[in-house]
Structure 1
């Protein structure tokens, strides 16, 4: 059995107009939400075996906060340039390419790709994954490359904890 946790990066700042999209940082609300959600999850789910983040600054900052609160070594956080995509194609490829020695993984990515992924592979329709929203999907398959439709086992948004 395999479990994937998909995290939409926390709220980013549009304050810096000269910064490229890839480099946009989190705003204070995003930092606070990432701590809120990750601290809750760290108490309520088993720590995922591997943490993987988009290379975009906002996703990476979200991943670092989750690493901190889960006690996961930041040096082991994997960074994927391919996850900086707004379709689910690279997200699907990333999940299906996971090493089978990992029974669980957490991936930090972006809006449209996440919404498409969780509705394609999960069992619960989700209209919109909010910033710093987390969706967990469990698969019966033994190999990541074979995953098909799974069961949505977790949906957590920051607003549930405020």
Structure 2
């Protein structure tokens, strides 16, 4: 059995005209939401075996906050440039390439790709995953490369806790 948590990066800032999209920072609200949700989840779920983030600043900053609150060593946080994508293709490839020694994983990525992924692989239709939204899906397969339709076991959005 495999468990996957997908996290959409927290709320980012559009205030900087000269900053490239990949470099956009989190807003204060995004930082607060990431701390709020990660602290709640750290008490509710078992710490995932591996943390993987898009290389975009906003996803990376979100993942660092989650690492801190889960007590996951930053030195083992995996950063994947290909997750800086707005389709689910690289997300699917990343998940299916996970080492089978990991029974659980948490991945920090972006809109559209996440929405498509959780509706394709989860059991619960989700119209829109907001910033810092977390979806958990459990798969009955033994190997990540073989995952198909799973069971949605967690849907948490910051607005549920404000």
TM-score range, shorter chain: over 0.9
- Equivalent residue, structure 1, for 2:89: 89
Query: CA-to-partner distance for each residue in 1:5-60, whole Å, 9 max, x for gaps?
Result: 00000000011110000000000000000000000000000000000000000000
- Equivalent residue, structure 2, for 1:16: 16
What does residue range 1-150 of structure 1 map to in structure 2 within 5 Å? 1-150=1-150
- Equivalent residue, structure 2, for 1:161: 161
Query: CA-to-partner distance for each residue in 1:84-127, whole Å, 9 max, x for gaps?
Result: 00000000000000000000000000000000000000000000
TM-score, length of structure 1 as denominator length:
1.00
Aligned residues: 162
Q: State the Cα RMSD in Å.
A: 0.3
C-alpha separation in 1, matches of 2:157 and 2:55: 22
- SS of equivalent residue, structure 1 residue 111: coil
Unmatched 5+ residue regions in structure 2? none
C-alpha separation in 1, matches of 2:76 and 2:63: 11
C-alpha separation in 2, matches of 1:130 and 1:28: 16
C-alpha separation in 1, matches of 2:15 and 2:69: 27
C-alpha separation in 2, matches of 1:17 and 1:40: 34
